[in-house]
Amino acid sequence: MNFFRRQITVARVLGIPVRIDYRWFVVFALSAWVIAASFREGTTMTQFVRLGLGAAWGAGLLTTFALFLSIFGHELSHALLARAEGIESDEIVLHPFGGLTRLRSEPDNPRAEFRIAIAGPSASFIIGVVALAGFYVARLSGFDALAAALSIVGFWNFTIAASNLLPGYPLDGGRVLRAFLWKRSGQLEDATRVAGLGGQLIGGALVVFGGYFYFFWRDPFMGLWLALVGLFLFDAARAVTRRRKTLRTAGDAMTAPVSVEPDATVGHLIDHVLPAHRREVFTVARDGRLHGVLTLRDLKDLPRERWHLTRVRDVMRPVAQNLFVAPSTPLARAERLLNENGAGALAVVDDRGQLVGLLLRGRLKRRADAKA
Ligand SMILES: [Zn+2]
């Protein structure tokens, strides 16, 4: 799916790049226009104001900007809770259907999953309460346009909090459900399957709802919007369940290692092994037993004239707890080690102590999941 490609980076907040999907500008303009129209004519939430054309557009733009900040606040609180759990975020993306925080790796326990997931709706709810309080103060003080804008911001934040809590993966509520099932059964895969199924059901229901709005309520805008959001959710939920089916453990995601003997020289590696196997990381093994891991980065400081005098075992990273996993190790835990062990690689060793595979950071067949 080519969905999140066209983006521009608009800011870095606490070290996290904030990107905007270019189609988001269309939604921004549309939203400003709809809100401006309601400030001119008065709708449910703006019934006590009537603004002129310029002022209405100003109010529309400012209110839309406040909505944008609300969504950003929702995503940032996911990212900050993730950081508190030891997981960095690669980016925050604002796209036409809301926002998305891309975590570098998935939480490896249900408690962290729950806390990161619930952070977003909590933030939206708090922003909603603050906006609502602001609405009453502004209304009592006679700032009617401000009051109307705050009522729109409050309403949308409550809507965002509630809709994200629907129990379907990858919505926040689906993650909460998954964390709950995961904690109860200890089975991450089963929990993901159930929560993903929930996401597909909710996505399907939204498409049906959209059709209902379109044909029976004669509200094509709302109908198409619901159907699009439903399709989007259905697709994301199905992708997650399918990916989980094929790739769950280190053994599922590993590739064949290329090994060198510990007594081989670096010169031998560079002259004879590297030309045939262009890769960044080699395992060091003898008779299938892992001795260490050697990355080309580790050789950067070794002068060329020392290549034929230096043995691989003297420059490798000797085998340690954070350099290998079993084939049955869950992929989430393996990814975490990959991100943290400094080598960017992880050997896979079976229960008889035989080297059977290699995992490389950034080369896993699946990326860390996105968070809606
Ligand atoms: Zn969220």
Q: Is the model's pLDDT at 1 over the cut of 60?
A: no
Calculate how far, in angstroms, residue 172's C-alpha sits from the geometric centre of ligand 1: 5
Determine if the peptide bond prior to 170 is cis (ω within 30°).
Answer: yes
CA of 47 from ligand 1 middle (Å) equals: 31
Ligand 1 centroid from CA 106, angstroms: 15
pLDDT digits (tens, 9 = 90+) for 38-81: 887 766 666 777 777 777 788 888 988 888 899 999 999 999 99
Q: How far is the CA of 167 from the centre of ligand 1 (A)?
A: 12
74 contacts 158 by C-beta, under 8 angstroms: no
Beta bridge partners of residue 8, listed in sequence order: 20
Ligand 1 midpoint to CA 261 (Å): 49
Q: How many angstroms is it from 51 CA to the middle of ligand 1?
A: 34
Cα of 89 from ligand 1 centre, angstroms: 14
Q: Measure the CA–CA gap between 76 and 15, rounded to whole angstroms.
A: 11
Q: Identify the pLDDT of residue 119.
A: 94
pLDDT category, 217, cuts 50, 70, 90? Answer: confident
Instruction: Express each pLDDT in 302-338 by its tens digit.
Output: 888 888 889 999 899 998 888 899 988 888 888 888 8
Q: What distance in angstroms lies between residue 160's CA and the mean position of ligand 1's atoms?
A: 9
Separation of 212 CA from ligand 1 center, angstroms?
27
State the distance from the centre of ligand 1 to the C-alpha of 92, rounded, in angstroms: 11
Quote the tokens at residue 119. Answer: 């952070």
Q: Inform me whether the pLDDT recorded for 236 exceeds 80.
A: yes
pLDDT at 358 over 60: yes
Q: What spacing in Å lies between the alpha carbon of 72 and ligand 1's midpoint?
A: 10
CA of 26 to the centre of ligand 1 (A): 22
Say if residue 160 is exposed, middle or buried (CB neighbours under 10 Å; 0-12, 13-18, 19+). Answer: buried
Ligand 1 centroid, distance to 141 Cα (angstroms): 34
Please give the distance, rounded to the nearest whole angstrom, from the Cα atom of residue 366 to the centre of ligand 1: 21
Strands 7-13 and 16-21: antiparallel
249 CA from centroid of ligand 1 (Å): 26
Q: How many CA atoms lie within 13 A of 43 on its CB side?
A: 10
Q: How much distance in Å is there from the Cα of 96 to the middle of ligand 1?
A: 14
Going from the Cα of 107 to the center of ligand 1, the distance in angstroms, rounded, reads 15
Q: For the segment 113-143, what is each residue's pLDDT rounded down to a tens digit?
A: 999 999 999 999 999 999 999 999 988 887 8
Which range, 87-96, 164-173, 360-369, has the best average confidence (pLDDT)?
164-173
Give the Å distance between the CA of 75 and the centre of ligand 1: 6
Centroid of ligand 1 to alpha carbon of 277 (angstroms): 43
Query: Which residue's structure tokens are 């129209």?
Result: 37
Q: Give the mean pLDDT of the chain.
A: 84
Q: How far is the CA of 231 from the centre of ligand 1 (A)?
A: 18
Q: How far is the CA of 363 from the centre of ligand 1 (A)?
A: 27
Query: What is the whole-number distance in angstroms between the Cα of residue 146 and the centre of ligand 1?
Result: 27
Sign of CA dihedral 271, 272, 277, 280: negative
What's the rounded Cα separation, in Å, for the pair 37 and 46?
10
Of 12-16, 223-227, 364-368, the one with minimum mean pLDDT is 364-368
pTM above 0.75?
no
**Ligand 1 center–CA 58 separation, angstroms:** 29
